[in-house]
């Protein structure tokens, strides 16, 4: 066999698969439609970001009000859907498997023509699902804990409503702001695994809901969506600030992975991690998690000085969610709650300029085999 060409990269590293105007890692930051994530997270709420990703521009006040109203219309879930959610929640499955099944069933309740992938219809389906996503995640969480779901309140943001629905307690302005920022930071991220999955499914001209379910299946994998929960497990394993240095030294000496550290594309640090690090300290203090925050900072400093590696967004996001009173089982589902906005934008773009994805594989198997009669095998 011929030598494997350099172009046959594992993981498609450095392979450009499509063109996009939605988001990109540019220099040392992340851009949504040309705006830096630092600028957007400081000045815009999640609803504005969804509009930006879908429409290509930031809304004015009238546009935002109308869009938010459309988006929020599906936050109160259909009554016939609730017994189904309760049954799904009662299973022993992985939370992302439950979410995948819930979204598939939610699609079956859509009375419109879901096979219509025209821009107008796909956008209508995306409004319906994006508005309902948080309530679905919250309802599954509540049912798992033997509690009844909490209805959405009109006039409140997606961030406020989700925290109220999942905890049964209204968030403070500080908590709402922190969670809203987390949603903004996770909304889209170039051509990551789940986004690429959504675009691959869309490239076959499958329906919108199938595109999103495919993305959920990809996000479920612990190498993609589950890293923030792994960071919290790591903190519990370390136990205290006094044991951080020994833990990191052992990890370096034995070439163990330190969860939440490093990123394939960001070589100078993930800007989203910097934002969460700064915003989360006060909330962590109020939640009694100041030591855990200091532990993460110490791990970050040590890994940067000794290995030249810096944290990604998952490094601080799990602690943020914990400080907000969210269970670790819900971390990856709420990642999807934010990312559905980006998946939808990417699907819109794929449909608009479509060509089915059909890469090649470099064959490394034998080529000269002959079939023997079954008696001789």
How far is Cα 45 from Cα 121, in angstroms, rounded to an integer?
Answer: 25
Phi and psi for 25 in degrees, rounded to 5?
A: -85, 115
3-state secondary structure of 361: coil
Phi and psi for 289 in degrees, rounded to 5?
A: -115, 25
Measure Cα distances from 241 to 122, 245, 290 in Å: 50, 8, 10
Asked whether the beta carbons of 334 and 96 are under 8 A apart, the reply is: no
Asked whether the beta carbons of 187 and 338 are under 8 A apart, the reply is: yes
Torsion of CA 228, 222, 183, 50, to 10 degrees: 170
Q: What is the CA radius of gyration of the chain?
A: 22
| Active site amino acids | 263, 314
Measure Cα distances from 91 to 84, 249, 350 in Å: 11, 40, 35
Alpha helices in 60-117 (DSSP H): 61-72, 82-89, 95-108
Measure Cα distances from 110 to 78, 101, 131, 230 in Å: 10, 15, 14, 36
370 alpha-carbon distance from chain centroid: 48
Asked whether the beta carbons of 140 and 88 are under 8 A apart, the reply is: yes
How far is Cα 369 from Cα 374, in angstroms, rounded to an integer?
Answer: 15
């Amino acid at each position: 066999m011929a030598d494997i060409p350099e172009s046959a990269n594992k993981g498609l590293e450095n392979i450009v698969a499509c063109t996009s105007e939605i988001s990109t890692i540019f220099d040392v930051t992340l851009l949504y439609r040309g705006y830096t994530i630092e600028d957007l997270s400081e000045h815009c709420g999640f609803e504005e970001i969804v509009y930006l990703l879908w429409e290509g521009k930031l809304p004015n006040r009238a546009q935002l009000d109308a869009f938010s109203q459309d988006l929020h219309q599906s936050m109160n879930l259909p009554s016939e859907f609730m017994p189904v959610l309760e049954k799904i929640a009662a299973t022993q499955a992985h939370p992302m498997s439950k979410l995948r099944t819930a979204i598939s069933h939610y699609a079956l309740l859509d009375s419109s023509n879901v096979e219509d992938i025209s821009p107008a219809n796909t956008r209508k389906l995306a409004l319906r699902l994006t508005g309902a996503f948080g309530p679905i995640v919250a309802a599954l969480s509540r049912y798992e804990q033997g509690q009844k779901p909490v209805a959405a309140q009109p006039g409140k943001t997606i961030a406020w409503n989700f925290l109220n629905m999942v905890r049964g307690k209204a968030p403070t302005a500080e908590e709402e702001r922190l969670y809203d920022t987390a949603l903004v930071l996770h909304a889209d991220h170039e051509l990551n695994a789940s986004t690429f999955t959504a675009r691959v499914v869309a490239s076959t001209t499958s329906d919108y809901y199938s595109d999103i379910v495919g993305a959920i299946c990809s996000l479920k994998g612990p190498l993609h969506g589950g890293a923030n929960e792994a960071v919290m497990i790591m903190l519990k394993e370390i136990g205290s600030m006094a044991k951080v240095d020994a833990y990191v030294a052992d990890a370096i000496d034995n070439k163990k992975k330190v969860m939440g550290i490093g990123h394939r594309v960001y070589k100078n640090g993930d800007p989203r991690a910097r934002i969460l690090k700064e915003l989360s300290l006060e909330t962590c203090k109020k939640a009694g998690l100041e030591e855990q925050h200091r532990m993460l900072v110490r791990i970050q400093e040590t890994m940067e000085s000794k290995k030249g590696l810096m944290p990604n967004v998952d490094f601080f996001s799990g602690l943020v969610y914990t400080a907000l009173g969210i269970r670790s089982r819900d971390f990856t589902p709420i990642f999807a709650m934010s990312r559905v906005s980006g998946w939808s934008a990417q699907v819109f773009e794929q449909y608009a300029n479509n060509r089915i994805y059909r890469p090649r594989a470099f064959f490394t198997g034998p080529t000269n085999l002959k079939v023997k009669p079954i008696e001789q095998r």
